[in-house]
Structure 1
Amino acid sequence: MVPNAAPYGLVADAAIVVEAGVVAWVGKQADLPAAYADAPQHSMGGRLVSPALIDCHTHLVHGGHRAREFEMRLNGESYAAIARAGGGIISTVSATRGASEAELLASALLRVDALIAEGVGAVEIKSGYGLDRATELKMLRVARAVALARDVTVRTSFLGAHAVPKGADGDEYLDDICIPTLRAAHAEGLVDAVDGFCEGIAFSPAQIARLFDVAGELGLPVKLHAEQLSHLGGAALAARYGALSADHVEYCTTDDARALAASGTVAVLLPGAFYTLRETQMPPVAAFRSQGVAMALATDWNPGSSPLGSLLLVVNMGCTLFGLTPEEALAGVTRVAARALGLADRGQIAPGLRADLAVWDVAEPAELAYRIGTNSLHKRIYGGVL
């Protein structure tokens, strides 16, 4: 998955040398340097080896479910209308506030185990279902605990600006709850990035900018749910702040694509939410390509708009729904996903990078995008450990 190599950077009859959990050399087995000739060897049986997959946008820590809202949407209610009526994010807030840390961890581990079983080696987990200090901090502590309980890298995102609590004023909530909680979470070492939901049913660009100013003061990178349901200016805002990523981005324009490219911000495409909400506005993949915007894919695993627990299915959906090539889709859950999380040490198989690998029972990489509902993982290698 090294950029600008042959398709996929594929190397036939390859060998990978791993030392202390890091790739030391990779190339054709016939070219193996003499210094490694006597090293212990482990045959992968001619299988395809890729970087371990990376899910760069999830909400794995939450209480409850929203199956009833799924029924409501199928009966004609819109996502925005359900949210305004007290459903949506707010209903999950109630369930998450009522769950203990142990309960939240147990359910989160079930979800992360499903991702690990598909070759995932790193995952992002957001807060955002608390909307109060105690619950937001609880969610972030649980996210940190996931990484202690499983062999997986977890990057946390503070998403206190996910929704305005029922009956509250957005600006007052930011000043009295969200920003003070961010400062507290940062002081506890619980935050790797700051996220927000920039949308008519959530927060305006001006409000998100105030939050991002505090993130900058704390030295934290930012990312943003942007242009999912309408064009509000979130993508331009993300670009202005040099965000790691702008996510959803269905309503992005060509001007937005230029701004994202100039800032190096990744566009994270989330076909699970597009599919579940039965949206028709697709992200402007052609504009992203033409402007040189890197595109990642992720599950957006959450209880409402994307109850999707398969990153392999997302790879297929990125191709079938959004028109990505299989190579773009695989890059979107490896190399580009790593960039969307600021993880410079993985996402490719290259010397000096962490040896997080996935071994697949497939003949060629396109099979990972082609197959639907099939898990072809033979083995996941995390930090060089077989």
Structure 2
Amino acid sequence: MTMLDLLVRNTSEVLTVEGTHREAAEAALTPRPFACVGLRAGRVAYVGPESDLPADAIGPATEVVDAEGGFVGPGFVDPHTHLVFAGERSAEFDLRNQGATYLEIARAGGGIANTVRNTRAASEETLIQLALPRIERLLSFGVTTAEVKSGYGLSVEHELKMLRVVRRLGTHTPMELVPTLLCAHAVPEEYKGRREDYLELCIRDILPAVAREGLARFCDVFTEDSAFTVDESRRLLLAGRALGLVPRLHADQLTAMGASQLAAELGAASADHLEQITDEGIRALAAANVTACLVPTSTLFLRMRPYAPGRKLRDAGLNVALGTNVNPGSSMTENHALVLGLACLENGLSAAEAYWAATRGAAQCLGLQQHGRLAVGDAGDLVVFGCPSYRHLPYHLGINHARVVVKSGQVVHRARMSSCQ
């Protein structure tokens, strides 16, 4: 065997997550008790007993990480973020806590429009410097891959600017970033009363410009009473799909308006949020094999009820993914550990189901076939945790248990605390 670049040893178990969402989650995590993990050339080269490693596998250049009895699993994949933006909305947060609703704030010129004004005014360099600390915080929680949406530009110039920033950020951080166009996030202020004109701008100008530059993998729409109707969303997503952009939807978050059924109709990669999804919507998503992407920190941040029905979604046979929805208005947090805890406490998932949703389930949502898993040949992205079982992650609520984070075979983060039990 060729010498390994990195070896993680002395684990309680390694979760390789080689199962499927259609089997019991505990089995789908495919635990390997006391296994070690060897990485070479940025890929998984070995998973198994250290005693079975060939003598030449460990050499003077092999970096050895002692898990100290903690468990090891694949790097987390965050399938729903808005990491690139300027400005902050703490005053709006305070207003909501005094009784103002999200829609009331938006109608008064706050909300997304507030962030659009600040993001348009910021340069690419400023947006990069603002986003990097957010990425570092996510990375410290064990997130090694994240989707990033535009949606705070809402013009040809500024949507392209945001997506170019996402591309440039990929050269500034070890985290792998997956870009999504979200020009249909809201109707910008200058198009107030002219929503059809803005929709035409998206379809005629923004979508083709993004496709020409290869700046996005997905096209997303905020389908909601305060944003875009089902018919408008269908038009935009079909136009994006014709240009090679895979559809995704912000669906049934504030109102049940059939967005989940539209996601099923279009064969979307995911329907996200789903707090207000109906039984009909669940059946449609299940029949079309659309991933349900839940963002429970957003439900918490907006002080909403109900949370998305994660238990019903899993029981209906859907692949479920979990994201942070990092954004300045409805989920200003990079605390991925809190996402796992809320998924269990409020969405009704088991600890194993939540862990699946944050790893393999999220990777499948983004079409990443060698992420969120630790089979030989997969991406060398893993996390060494300071606790012996994945069950401890949601239980010790909101605490960061990631001790060592590895991306593409390289250690990219080490926590000062060795154990979080």
Tell me the TM-score normalised to structure 1 length.
Answer: 0.95
Unpaired segments ≥5 residues, structure 1? none
| Contact 1:161–1:178, Cα closer than 8 Å, also in 2 | no
Match of 2:33 among 8, 12, 25: 12
Could you tell me which residue of structure 2 aligns to residue 39 of structure 1?
A: 57
Could you tell me which residue of structure 2 aligns to residue 21 of structure 1?
A: 42
Could you tell me which residue of structure 2 aligns to residue 114 of structure 1?
A: 137
Shift of 1:13: 1.3
Identity within the alignment, %:
39
Cα RMSD (Å): 1.5
Match of 2:293 among 247, 268, 281: 268
| Contact 1:315–1:329, Cα closer than 8 Å, also in 2 | yes
Q: Which amino acid aligns with 2:56?
A: D
- How far, CA to CA, are the matches of 1:55 and 1:361 in structure 2? 21
Could you tell me which residue of structure 2 aligns to residue 368 of structure 1?
A: 393
Q: Which amino acid aligns with 2:76?
A: L
Match of 2:165 among 129, 142, 145: 142
Shift of 1:189: 1.5
- How far, CA to CA, are the matches of 2:351 and 2:127 in structure 1? 35
Shift of 1:159: 0.2
Q: Which amino acid aligns with 2:338?
A: L
C-alpha change, 1:179 and 1:25, in structure 2 (3 Å) is farther
- How far, CA to CA, are the matches of 1:335 and 1:177 in structure 2? 32
- Superposed CA deviations along residues 301-360 of structure 1, whole A, max 9, x for unmatched, are 100011111111111111122221111111111111111111111101112211100111
Are residue 52 (structure 1) and residue 81 (structure 2) matched? Answer: no
Could you tell me which residue of structure 2 aligns to residue 311 of structure 1?
A: 336
Could you tell me which residue of structure 1 aligns to residue 103 of structure 2?
A: 80
Match of 2:231 among 196, 201, 206: 206
Aligned-partner SS, 1:157:
strand
Aligned-partner SS, 1:23:
strand
- How far, CA to CA, are the matches of 2:390 and 2:204 in structure 1? 44
- How far, CA to CA, are the matches of 2:165 and 2:260 in structure 1? 30
Could you tell me which residue of structure 2 aligns to residue 156 of structure 1?
A: 179
Could you tell me which residue of structure 1 aligns to residue 258 of structure 2?
A: 233
C-alpha change, 1:234 and 1:179, in structure 2 (3 Å) is farther
Q: Which amino acid aligns with 1:93?
A: V
- How far, CA to CA, are the matches of 1:364 and 1:179 in structure 2? 51
Shift of 1:51: 0.3
- Superposed CA deviations along residues 140-163 of structure 1, whole A, max 9, x for unmatched, are 111111111011110000000000
Aligned-partner SS, 2:404:
strand
Are residue 2 (structure 1) and residue 23 (structure 2) matched? Answer: no
Aligned-partner SS, 2:170:
helix
- How far, CA to CA, are the matches of 2:313 and 2:299 in structure 1? 18
Tell me the TM-score normalised to structure 2 length.
Answer: 0.88
Shift of 1:127: 0.3
Unpaired segments ≥5 residues, structure 2? 1-16, 412-421
The runs of 4+ residues in structure 1 deviating greater than 6 Å are none
Are residue 355 (structure 1) and residue 376 (structure 2) matched? Answer: no
Could you tell me which residue of structure 2 aligns to residue 219 of structure 1?
A: 244
| Contact 1:89–1:129, Cα closer than 8 Å, also in 2 | yes
Could you tell me which residue of structure 2 aligns to residue 129 of structure 1?
A: 152
| Contact 2:253–2:276, Cα closer than 8 Å, also in 1 | yes
Match of 2:210 among 174, 179, 185: 185
Could you tell me which residue of structure 2 aligns to residue 96 of structure 1?
A: 119
| Contact 1:179–1:211, Cα closer than 8 Å, also in 2 | no
Aligned-partner SS, 1:59:
coil
Could you tell me which residue of structure 1 aligns to residue 403 of structure 2?
A: 378
Shift of 1:8: 2.9
Match of 2:200 among 163, 168, 175: 175
Shift of 1:290: 2.2
Shift of 1:374: 2.1
Shift of 1:17: 3.0
| Contact 2:298–2:330, Cα closer than 8 Å, also in 1 | yes
| Contact 1:64–1:95, Cα closer than 8 Å, also in 2 | yes
- How far, CA to CA, are the matches of 1:262 and 1:28 in structure 2? 41
Q: Which amino acid aligns with 2:371?
A: R
Q: Which amino acid aligns with 2:57?
A: A
Shift of 1:74: 1.4
Question: Does 38-47 or 329-338 show the bigger shift?
Answer: 38-47
C-alpha change, 1:369 and 1:7, in structure 2 (3 Å) is farther
Q: Which amino acid aligns with 1:118?
A: F
Paired residues, number? 383
Could you tell me which residue of structure 1 aligns to residue 4 of structure 2?
A: none
Shift of 1:177: 4.1
